[in-house]
Structure 1
Amino acid sequence: MYRKHSGYFLAASLTAAIAVAPVAYAQTTLKLINEYPATSITATADLNFAEQVNKLSQGSLEIKTLQEKDNPFKGVDQVDAVSKGDVQMGTIFGGILGAKDSLFLLSSLPFASKDFKQARAIYTCAKPALEARAQALNTRLLYVTPWPPSGIWSVKPVANAEDLKNLKIRTYDQTSKAVFQNLGAESVNLPYSALAEKLAAGEVNAVLTSGDGGAGRKLWDHLPNFTAVNYSIPLSYTIINNDTWNKLSPEQQSTLTKAAEQVSEASWSGVEKRIDANYARMQENKMTLNKTPSAAVMEALSKAGAAETASWMKANPLDEREKACLN
């Protein structure tokens, strides 16, 4: 009798436990690549995105970030990796995406934006066209992250226009490469991931970048001067493979969209604060900052930039709506 009743009660207990146990859903994991270090503004945005996705999905959707050395893809291979589905998502600098479609270079045209408000207006205006161009690459645009304005990191101070000619400078797209070539400098278009080796070998003595966050760690040991020329306010674009997107449930798609909106807003509202933080970090590392470049330097860059923008516009015809975004 005892055994019979204990078996009955055991079965009843198990049935009750199963009835009240929460349903376990399989977790979906998406990998997100980024070639910049975790403390850079774009990588920080990605970590925020992963956190928001986890919260909104209650853990059923995971974003696994592969940043800097953990990212197996470099340069333009990152675009191909996301397009082909070798990795599900990527946060990719506009200069790299621009090698596939020049419209992604719009925000990084020289002196196109005088401040973040204008940079955001240009992006908002061009967003429908950028989304369509992303679709042509078999990807979907989720969000963008603005960088602080690009300046010149250099071995020697850039005090006058003649100093520009002595630069062997790393640039980040074909337009910036041409601008500095037109000024008489040696310039090479390199992704961030390829920079450390060139610096260590002494093949470059200057870099065009903001050097935001941890990105500066690879610069100040070699380049003790920074000239705040505010060349452009470039963007990084976070994209997801279209086939991956289409396999997600509507709820998962909604989660990614909501998280992307939150992260985008946080990036635009917080980017300006990073400039002072970056400058403070530069000074802590014994750098010399020139926040007011000479008129001669700015005039030379402005003229070369205007000429190259005109050449870019001729080589990359925009429709009337796209042209209006720059006005």
Structure 2
Amino acid sequence: MKLLWIAAWLAASAVHAQTRWTLATGYGENSFHTTNIVRFASDVERLTGGALKVAVHPNNALVKLADIPQAVQDGRIQAGESIMTGMAKAFPIAGADAIPFVVGSYADAKRLWVLQRPLIERHFAQRGLKALYAVPWPPQGLYTRKPVASASDFKGTRMRTYNATTVRIAGLLGAIPVDVPMVEVNQALGSGRIDNMITSAVTGVENEAWRHIGYFHEINAWFPKNIVFVNRRAFDALSPLQQQSVLQASADAEARGWAASEAASKSSLRELQARGMKVERAPPEFEAALKRMGEKFSREWIRDVGHEANQLFVPYYFQR
């Protein structure tokens, strides 16, 4: 009887000692990012022996995407996921993700993240945050109605734009910028409002781009990353072993997420081809023009951000 009482007391103590985190993300349940986060939460619970449980709230259900960093910083929730480009106002170094035609492959994107991470962590620490892991979206490609030989082919065409960067790209190519939300892309293509657009192969599959457009050029314009982070006080409140478990689950989630992103990109490219689209690299002359454009964007960004931008791009360009 005494042994039963002790066992019951220990079980009750374990339940009482369980720590619960709330993690908010703005992305849907079927996004590979969200699927990865759910796996991360499961790994945390397993590695901590149930001592830490992470409840994942996707699809803007708990906190809107733009408000997640502040909610985590304030301690209203313990953890969250945001797209890094959306954090660039508070953390300018995160804006490196939005500079086009600088990162040309997953290997380049990973090298940039290795250099970017300590700078992000330094800024996060000043705001009471801790970075756990980051995973890129598939790269942005170029959809066109006609084959492309050079930048001059875009003069007078209508290019879909959705932010300041895409507006500038359209202007530099001599195209007419047309602001079109993603939910209206199919209608805009079908009605002839736009002739070309920059977005990922994954998005093209989701929107059945082959119904209206025939060419996809793998220009790998940029690799925007989502980052998962936690309130620093919540992390510090864990035992050393629990902290190590969270970091292990984070490292596993990062490796798994990068692989999932690349797999999603490859499968989407195959789907575009299977649907009759021509999928190819941009011609050398056009690629050279895009590279010059990327150098222009990066110089302007370094000028705006200052010394810290050099800490990122000097080693990125010269320590290959």
Query: Given the superposition, is the C-alpha separation of residues 63 and 283 from structure 1 closer, same or farther in structure 2, using an over 3 Å criterion?
Result: farther
- Residues 241-275 of structure 1: CA deviation (Å, up to 9, x unaligned): 22332343434322211111111122334543332
The runs of 5 or more residues in structure 1 that have no matched partner are 1-12
Q: CA deviation at 1:40?
A: 3.3
Larger gyration radius, structure 1 or structure 2: 1
Q: How does 1:124-273 map to 2 (within 5 A)?
A: 124-153=114-143, 156-157=145-146, 159=148, 161=151, 162-163=153-154, 165-171=157-163, 174-185=164-175, 195-196=182-183, 198-199=184-185, 202=188, 205=194, 208-212=198-202, 216-218=205-207, 220=209, 224=213, 226-273=216-263
The runs of 5 or more residues in structure 2 that have no matched partner are none
Structure 1 residue identity aligned to 2:5: I
If the length of structure 1 is used for normalisation, what is the TM-score? 0.78
Q: How does 1:8-27 map to 2 (within 5 A)?
A: 13=1, 15-21=2-8, 22-23=10-11, 24-26=14-16, 27=18
Instruction: Report the Cα distance in structure 2 between the residues aligned to 1:80 and 1:186, rounded to whole angstroms.
Output: 37
Q: How does 1:296-315 map to 2 (within 5 A)?
A: 297-315=286-304
Q: CA deviation at 1:293?
A: 2.6
If the length of structure 2 is used for normalisation, what is the TM-score? 0.79
Q: CA deviation at 1:132?
A: 0.5
Structure 2 partner of 1:52: 43
Secondary structure in 2 aligned to 1:306?
helix
From 79, 91, 95, give the equivalent of 1:101: 91
Structure 2 partner of 1:90: 80
- Residues 170-223 of structure 1: CA deviation (Å, up to 9, x unaligned): 24xx54553334334455899xxx743x547749846533254x8952564987
Secondary structure in 1 aligned to 2:162?
strand
Instruction: Report the Cα distance in structure 2 between the residues aligned to 1:93 and 1:158, rounded to whole angstroms.
Output: 32
Q: Does 1:318 align with 2:301?
A: no
* RMSD, aligned CA: 3.3
Q: Which moved more, 1:131-140 or 1:200-209?
A: 200-209
Secondary structure in 2 aligned to 1:25?
helix
Q: CA deviation at 1:296?
A: 5.0
Q: CA deviation at 1:51?
A: 1.8
The answer to whether the Cα contact below 8 Å between 1:153 and 1:223 also exists between their aligned partners in 2 is: no
Aligned residues with identical type, % of pairs: 19
Q: Does 1:290 align with 2:279?
A: yes
Q: CA deviation at 1:121?
A: 1.8
